[in-house]
Amino acid sequence: MGLLWAACGLPKREKVEMRRKRRRGQSIVELAVGLMALIPIVLVVFDLAVIVIGVQINDSTCREAARVAASGDPKDAQDRAGAVVARANQRAAGMLSNFVLKTVTTNVTSDLTQLAKYGGPVQGTILIETEVDIKPFVVQFAYSGHSPLTFRSRQSFPFTYVFPNTSTSTSGS
């Protein structure tokens, strides 16, 4: 072994130091390449998590708007659902924004004009559709190339409402 070291012309200690420096340089290069691969993966996972959370919040907002819209007079369903969506917009910030109430459809089984005058029960369903815009960092380029990504949710909720009698009865005495 000693002959091999002597043939190279370097003392034993210097060759050991060169090997250590090469290992350090190799480790730095591996770290740099690993980070170049890891950072985009972490960004994509973060974006996908934001998208999933945004879709769930939109679905929850739509469900809550349908429930609240069905809790009173069917004529005021649009206003009650709009209040729920406005509250969702106040809470959302950053990547989640612009919750929009697209449609409020009331399917009623009775004639509302007669019920509004003489009163009585009415049944039906409220159909609500909401939309949310999500602005991710990276996923938009892989998916479609435009931002924001738009997701919709549709929920229906049954309602029962009793109109009060508003007719004036004149009884002669």
State what percent of residues in the chain have pLDDT above 70: 76
- Which residue's entry shows tokens 């019920």? 115
pTM: predicted TM-score of the whole model, two decimal places: 0.72
pLDDT digits (tens, 9 = 90+) for 79-125: 999 999 999 888 876 667 688 889 888 888 777 677 767 778 888 89
77-86, 137-146, 164-173: which has the minimum mean pLDDT? 164-173
Predicted local distance difference test score (pLDDT) of residue 173: 45
Is 137's pLDDT higher than 70?
yes
